[in-house]
Structure 1
Amino acid sequence: MTQETIDQYVRSALALSGYALRESTTEQVVQQFSRIHDIAAGFADEPLPVELESASVFRP
């Protein structure tokens, strides 16, 4: 994902959610999403061993 794609995503998501932030605040949100992307990129594509159990599902 490119920086431009992240920027477009954040701006679109904010607009669709009804947020009208100042440009400086929007840039901070874009920067945070870029950081999250960089962190997730380090492990998101790693294969999971078959031995791992699935997470439990909460059912009220």
Structure 2
Amino acid sequence: MTQAWILEVLGDLEAFARLNGLPSLAAQLQLARHVARAEIAAVAVPSPADVIGADKLPPDTG
């Protein structure tokens, strides 16, 4: 997960917002962290074709 640094940055910004009386900003940053985590995870999952090679997959019968 090479983009993990962004989660740390968003967490730091959220902590700063909470400590400085910015609860709405902190809540939005928490949401942004959840979105970033989900998107990073979605990008990080390789497809079966990436893992074993498209030529090794069974033919599409649909």
TM range (shorter): 0.3 to 0.5
- Give the alignment's TM-score, normalised by structure 1: 0.42
More helix by share: 2
Larger relative contact order (CA 8 Å, sep ≥ 6): 1
Q: Which has the larger radius of gyration?
A: 2
- Give the alignment's TM-score, normalised by structure 2: 0.41
